[in-house]
Amino acid sequence: MNITNVNEYEAIAKEKVPKMIYDHYASGAEDEWTLKENRNAFSRILLRPRILIDVSKIDLTTTVLGFKISMPIMIAPTGQHKMAHPQGECATARAASAAGTVMTLSTGATFSVEEVASTGPAIRFLQLYMFKDRNVATQLVRRAEKAGFKAIVLTVDSAVFGHREANIKNRFTFPSYVRMKNYEGMGLERTKDSSPASVTNGIYDGSLSWKDVKWLQTITSLPIILKGILTAEDSKLAIQAGASGIIVSNHGARQLDYVPATITALEEVVQASEGRIPVFMDGGVRRGTDVFKALALGAAGVFIGRPAVYALAADDEAGVRKVLEMLHDELEITMALCGCPSLKDITRDHVFTERDRPRIAPRL
């Protein structure tokens, strides 16, 4: 399969999976303004390369929560990988492990934490929604600990299910072969209405608040990353609540439309965090230059979601490996051409954003 960039996998996936499933993966909330903006915002950020710097050796390695990984590019939590490929999250996990990076397993995965762990040793995080039954959350966290997962990623932007019109038009329901394996044996049996909104609103807790972040710390010693923060105000509250990290995320533009692109919100959150905890981002990353721009604006790393799912649908584990390889190589080239032999050499001065225009406007 002669693939030259990440975007090409989407067209292949669109042909391979049923329309209803492709639309479920690809669509956003309501008018999908934020869905488009997640990509468009990257195009408005320009690079400021520096020259005549020794870039004969480029180092992409970094650490996340103390764990060394090969590059600042990780797999975001996305649900129901089995709809893309029969090997589902197990194939994705093997690809991430081979690439030497982090995979985040969704609560709504079609393979359990134990099944994913059985694919071999790796650095893996568990994404968690807060269940109405706190005992379910406790059991799932304990299972993740036992299976060797290294962090809990608590999604905080899903008090209710977003208004996703593509799913409504298609009358989308999870196929009969899709089972949320982490739910089995926990009193969360499948209901007759297996639409995503029904499943989500039926078992996840809309009353989730900052006190629950504190509660989560009482049941686990694992670091807790909060996913879904877009403002300086909430980043400060996250630090006060004891979060170990933040993921700037708008849920792939699937929850609330007309919120900023994550790359647009990133710098505000980074500045508010004042370096006290690492800030990551997801949403719209399709090129190594996108990764570079995020790092220049203060991100400690990025997570990719849809690209991994599309590649999985198109070419199994090999596709996911190829996506990670292409992004790695593109970032390496970008760093070299911008005069950055290591990640620590990437600075705010390497990018020009719309916010910088007043600062450099010529005097009249």
73, 106, 208 from 305: Cα distances, Å: 11, 11, 24
In whole angstroms, give the CA distance from residue 124 to residue 113: 10
Chain position carrying tokens 């989308």: 172
Task: Estimate the crossing angle of helix 306-337 against helix 8-16, to 10 degrees.
Answer: 170
CA-nearest of 179, 119, 153 to 243 is 153
Active site residue 24: no
What would the two tokens of residue 183 be?
């739910």
Catalytic residue selected from 24, 85, 251, 350: 251
Interatomic CA distance for residues 61 and 121, integer angstroms:
19
For residue 127, list its beta bridge partners.
153
Residue listed under structure tokens 């006190």: 211
Query: For residues 288-305, b (16+ Cβ closer than 10 Å) or e, as one string?
Result: bbbbbbbbbbbbbbbbbb
What beta strand segments (E) does the chain contain? Answer: 46-47, 62-64, 67-69, 73-75, 103-105, 124-128, 151-155, 224-229, 245-248, 279-282, 301-304, 351-352
Question: Phi and psi of 54, rounded to 5°?
Answer: -70, 110
- In sign, the C-alpha dihedral spanning 160, 165, 166, 168 is positive
Minimal CA–CA distance to 340: which of 263, 303, 288, 266?
288
Residues with a known catalytic role? 251
